[in-house]
Chain A
């Protein structure tokens, strides 16, 4: 392609916070993530939605270096997840789907463990810990055992733990699952507050369409391991029709295809079985 004066610069001034290229992960014959490609600009809150088993968690696990990809790659905060996983880990925060705070330690002790794991200098540890706890509204319960925290408090503690080293990208895997509406709201407020204060890029998976619609700049819809579409909430809804909700988008783009896919897969299985029988 010949470039002319109106085409955008080849190297944008700001490199994306996350650049995913043909990222693929297979488990045996099953392709959990299939040639995913996307750019996430700095400071964006990207919601990741999709049916159960679509590959959301596998994608996040690869981007956070917990799981090596089968092929393809990604740059996270400018570092290659395959060639420099340790550098990637230095620049990201991760709040897993499971509750990762240790219930048999106090809030402060959990924070101290994180501070040490992230190599935060001793002289700064206390200031950063108390600062992060205050930001998440946990100062009063810092010395209580986390086993006695509510679900919402644990989530806020985990976010506090993963932001102490000031990550460029924060991955949150279903951060509001199991929380009541008030606690969900509080988690989102804190997440958006972080983005505004530090320009932290956020990648958030969720099954709650309303919150994704309300709080995310863009939404990536994952279906059968592929990024089916990335767009703004308004853009996505406009694709389906006037007055469409995100639920409608989900069903329109995923629901229908899932069914035909299931049928196709069933036919395929029958064919393979028949072939196996014939070949003895």
Chain B
């Protein structure tokens, strides 16, 4: 009994890993895709950041605005990659690749977690770009190994969370055209109703409430604390990780149930 449980766990790990590994192999075949994704964070930090840093009204504790912003832009670039992840699920459905996943004995949750992990891998390559850029413009980056491990964890969790959310949307809308529309509609509120580019203190009361319900706020909060020298968490890292992990787990559970219906 215990042995078969162990075998089951081994299979589960291998199935999850297989799905994620296939994604990494695809990135290796086409690394240009990652390079094109670097453009957006560059624009935000170099154009938006440099200009907004001149505005004295944005108070952000003891951090310079560019430092404050860099963590937000890191979270944002991860969000933008993750939120359109569902479109690849629709693509795979139209091609027939999804059907191959679904007729295999792999549990649906193993496939969904594998997909989430592969989104995390993409997000981490994105993070590398933002880190290099931030160092280049003189952001005070904390390069302590533990700090970096923490950042990797936060990004992996955040990316898994939003890519799984995106997968759920894909299961509902089922066509690429509809998804593109909804993806645009979702990204902006998630990004602006958070502490990514300005502190919550500047917001009107109702928006502050919305932002407190937004997982991105906790992702950014954790990133600020871990990534920057002199950065601090407003809510505590425990709460940040709890919110991210809890939300991701719930979304994965929902997605695993809905993913099977994509095969109809």
Query: Which of A's residues lie within 8 Å of B, judged by CB?
Result: 61, 64-67, 86, 89-90, 92-94, 96-102, 104-106, 109, 112-119, 122, 145, 161
Contact = CB atoms under 8 A, between A and B. Distances in A.
Given A67-B264, A92-B103, A116 B96 contact: no
Given A117-B18, A119-B15, A109 B25 contact: yes
B97 interface: yes
B226 to A, nearest CB: 33
A67 B263 contact: yes
Nearest to A94: B103
Contacts of A65: 103
Nearest to A122: B14
Interface of B is mostly: helix
Given A65-B103, A104-B26, A105-B29, A117 B15 contact: yes
Contact of B105 (A86, A96, A105): A86
Interface string B85-124: 0000000001111011111111100000000000000000
Contacts of A119: 11, 14-15, 105-106
Count class of interface residues, chain B: 20 to 34
Contacts of B192: none
Contacts of B99: 66, 94, 96, 98, 100
A67 B21 CA distance: 28
B30 interface: yes
B17 interface: yes
Given A92-B103, A119-B105, 19 more contacts: A65-B103, A86-B107, A89-B103, A89-B105, A98-B94, A98-B96, A98-B99, A99-B96, A105-B25, A105-B29, A112-B18, A113-B22, A114-B104, A116-B17, A117-B15, A117-B18, A117-B104, A117-B105, A117-B106
A36 B264 CA distance: 19
B260 to A, nearest CB: 8
A33 B29 CA distance: 43
Contacts, number: 86
Nearest to A115: B18
Nearest to A113: B22
B18 A100 contact: no
5 contacts: A114-B104, A117-B101, A118-B106, A119-B14, A145-B29
B97 A118 contact: no
Nearest to B102: A66
A160 to B, nearest CB: 13
A93 B100 CA distance: 9
Contacts of B103: 64-66, 89, 92-94
A96 B29 CA distance: 25
Contacts of A66: 99, 102-103, 263-264
B139 to A, nearest CB: 35
A67 to B, nearest CB: 6
Contacts of B94: 98
B174 to A, nearest CB: 15
A202 B104 CA distance: 17
B230 to A, nearest CB: 43
Interface string B1-44: 00000000001001101110110011001100000000000000
A181 B135 CA distance: 60
A139 B17 CA distance: 25
**Most chain A beta carbons < 10 A, residue from B29, B97, B104:** B104
A118 B30 CA distance: 27
Interface in B216-264: 263-264
Given A67-B263, A96-B99, A119-B11, A104 B105 contact: no
A100 B95 CA distance: 6
A97 B14 contact: no
Contacts of A118: 104-106
Nearest to A145: B29
B102 to A, nearest CB: 6
Contacts of A145: 29
Contact of A113 (B18, B96, B263): B18
**Most chain B beta carbons < 10 A, residue from A89, A94, A113:** A113
Nearest to B15: A117
Contacts of A104: 26, 29-30
Given A98-B95, A119-B15, A109 B263 contact: no
Nearest to A117: B104
